[in-house]
Structure 1
Amino acid sequence: MKVLLTGATGFVGRAVLDVLSRSEGVRVVVALRKAASDLPAGVETYSIYDLTDDQSSRLSAHAPDVVVHCASRVHVMNDTAADPLAEFRRVNVDGTIALARAARAAGAKRFIFISSIKVNGEGTLAGAPYRADDTPKPTDPYGVSKLEAEEGLLALARETGLEVVIIRPVLVYGPGVKANFQSMMRWLQRGIPLPFGAINNRRSLVALDNLVDLVMTCIEHPAAANQVFLVSDGDDMSTTDLLRRMGHALGKPARLIPVPAQLLQAGARFLGKGALSQRLCGSLQVDIEKTRRLLGWKPPVSTDVALRAAARHFQENDKR
């Protein structure tokens, strides 16, 4: 079996590549916009300068059986594009559909699309998790573009017979994680007192190894065809609990001050950080029952084991 992988130099894509390259009976082609020197031995490369270009004639030479599409224009906090939605659509919608059409023309049977929980929305009430078949309610340009890509892929599936698998991860963490999760580890490592000792929200996270395991399951599982799956560790926790467990993984007990969540949220809004306060104080849970039932899948790595792996990598590599 030959698998074409996009986004192979990214956080998720690189982890998928590492597993694919060690899988018996799998030949891997990575689609790259620029050369990469640290690819595993035996991996083929396929140059893509712009996902929206017509790939049909060049992709046919590689004839993939399956495409795992991890590449995208990612969500950013302070987008400087003049028209963010148009730019998200160009890459995440037009580029995705163009690649899927070319892959089908080249003989691909299945297309796995790494989408986002932002398709469902930005938050849930505690105890009322998102489900895979809920009506989508994206609220920002990134989420809208991911939903439109999903809709385009499912329409293409009906038109051509291409099997489409959509995976919507929640926040992904693991060795090499960046952004807010990395900042959290840095705060804890330095022993900085944090005002997050009284937050009673519930949030779902997914370890990188668990997400990759689901991707590998979806490559061949017959029940995955033309389905949408949510993925998490199945171990929801509050921000307070996460900080405590992350501190334990780092060997640096969290120094948490019990400031009421309402006061934190009011202060964040005053400072123009309302979105950040939502992630710290609000709930976002997902129900992975469909993923478990249809695929017989369960997260192979526990949250605490995954947190220790992330902590170990951080402590070995953080130079700040």
Structure 2
Amino acid sequence: MKKTIMITGATGFIGSNFIKKYKNEYNIIPICLIKNKPEELDYTGVDTVLHLAALVHQMKGAPEEKYFEVNTELTRKLATIAKKNGVKHFVFYSTIKVYGFDGELNNPEFILTENSMCNYNPNDPYGASKYEAEKILNSLQDEKFKVAIVRPPMVYGEGVKGNMLSLIKLINILPVIPFNYNQNKRSIISTENLLYMTHLIIENIADGIYLGTEGNPVSIKEISESIERGIGRRKINIKFPNFIFKILCKVKPNIMVRLYGTLAFKQEDNYEKIGYKPRLNMSDEIKLMIGDYKNEH
């Protein structure tokens, strides 16, 4: 018998891809929380709520209270009402921003786990609001209401926008690229593996925290080389002179941390209980992603 999954944020990137991939395995109820209030929803027969709807970082900024209204209070209301209506499983997409850590330029061996302390930056209302939601959900959990929290790192794959797409565009255009650095380590996950992990969480009615990792963290050099192979053209890959690198770190610290800093994760628990092992490796998924990018351009 098919499980019934209620998905909020169903038109977003993760939601739409999950529905596309698993529409034949589940009875899926897509929900828009802009149009529907949690108390107006019909939870009859719902096995799992997959809560993806969120207010993410806004380029033009958003009031701090809006993040807490959407990411914290709406999550609390949805989970509380779902529990009262007999839903037994709640899967919440959080963020690695709950750690309050964007990367480490000086210590490439630094690794975070699902058990590392969350010490979010109060200047980051997105991470703060998600962490407050996590705490509320954990307080609601009991034997009849299981809560799983997913904290994915950078996601890549077909249709993904954001940082990875920007990197592909940059490498595609430039004949010389400044990514010949192999010390930094960054955890990333493909859409395929993230959706598969979410599917396993649902199938096992699993609780706990899931970071969404695939194999060992990779360096910016490894990522750029995979993109080069996908594009089909090798580039001249260089390092900045040391004094220029230091100047750039002072002038553009956020960009330098995202490109050259270490932001690595290791799952200590929980993967074994759901039987998760990555399906695709980075090179395979990046080839698909670049094929998708080329088709659009």
TM-score by length of 1: 0.84
Residue in 1 that maps onto 2:201 = 218
Residue 63 of structure 1: how far off its partner (Å): 4.0
Residue 282 of structure 1: how far off its partner (Å): 0.6
Residue in 1 that maps onto 2:225 = 244
Q: Distance in 2 between matches of 1:141 and 1:79?
A: 14
Aligned residue type for 2:52: C
**1:285 counterpart = 2:264:** yes
Aligned match for 1:49, one of 23, 35, 57? 35
Aligned residue type for 2:30: V
Deviation per CA, 1:2-35, whole angstroms, max 9, x where unpaired?
Answer: 1001122212111111122021xx21000025xx
Higher relative contact order (CA 8 A, sep 6+): 2
Tell me, yes or no, if the aligned pair for 1:172 and 1:205 is still in contact at 8 Å.
yes
Residue 89 of structure 1: how far off its partner (Å): 0.7
Residue in 1 that maps onto 2:161 = 178
Question: Secondary structure of the equivalent of 1:165?
Answer: strand
Q: Distance in 2 between matches of 1:254 and 1:153?
A: 47
- Aligned alpha-carbon RMSD (Å): 2.0
Question: Secondary structure of the equivalent of 2:250?
Answer: helix
**1:267 counterpart = 2:248:** yes
**1:16 counterpart = 2:21:** no
Residue in 1 that maps onto 2:138 = 154
Aligned residue type for 2:157: G
Q: Distance in 2 between matches of 1:107 and 1:141?
A: 32
Residue in 2 that maps onto 1:102 = 81
Q: Distance in 2 between matches of 1:261 and 1:62?
A: 62
Tell me, yes or no, if the aligned pair for 1:243 and 1:254 is still in contact at 8 Å.
no
Q: Distance in 2 between matches of 1:137 and 1:79?
A: 25
Q: Distance in 2 between matches of 1:173 and 1:246?
A: 11
Gaps of 5+ in 1: 34-47
Residue 261 of structure 1: how far off its partner (Å): 6.4
Tell me, yes or no, if the aligned pair for 1:235 and 1:303 is still in contact at 8 Å.
no
Q: Distance in 2 between matches of 1:149 and 1:212?
A: 22
Tell me, yes or no, if the aligned pair for 2:54 and 2:71 is still in contact at 8 Å.
yes
Aligned residue type for 2:198: V
Aligned match for 2:109, one of 127, 150, 154? 127
Residue 296 of structure 1: how far off its partner (Å): 2.3
Q: Distance in 2 between matches of 1:164 and 1:69?
A: 11
Residue 268 of structure 1: how far off its partner (Å): 4.9
Question: Secondary structure of the equivalent of 1:172?
Answer: strand
Tell me, yes or no, if the aligned pair for 2:153 and 2:212 is still in contact at 8 Å.
yes
Deviation per CA, 1:162-184, whole angstroms, max 9, x where unpaired?
Answer: 21000111000111111221111
Deviation per CA, 1:256-297, whole angstroms, max 9, x where unpaired?
Answer: 221146633532532xx3212111111000002424333221
Q: Distance in 2 between matches of 1:22 and 1:192?
A: 45
Residue 86 of structure 1: how far off its partner (Å): 1.4
Q: Distance in 2 between matches of 1:18 and 1:206?
A: 19
TM-score by length of 2: 0.90
Question: Secondary structure of the equivalent of 1:169?
Answer: coil
Question: Secondary structure of the equivalent of 1:306?
Answer: helix
Gaps of 5+ in 2: none
Q: Distance in 2 between matches of 1:79 and 1:268?
A: 24
- Matched residue pairs, number? 290
Question: Secondary structure of the equivalent of 2:229?
Answer: helix
Residue in 2 that maps onto 1:39 = none
Residue 255 of structure 1: how far off its partner (Å): 3.0
Tell me, yes or no, if the aligned pair for 1:171 and 1:206 is still in contact at 8 Å.
yes
Identity, % of aligned positions:
27
Q: Distance in 2 between matches of 1:165 and 1:228?
A: 6
Question: Secondary structure of the equivalent of 1:286?
Answer: strand
Aligned match for 1:256, one of 237, 249, 259? 237
Q: Distance in 1 between matches of 2:172 and 2:151?
A: 31
Residue 95 of structure 1: how far off its partner (Å): 1.1
Question: Secondary structure of the equivalent of 2:279?
Answer: coil
Q: Distance in 1 between matches of 2:153 and 2:134?
A: 16
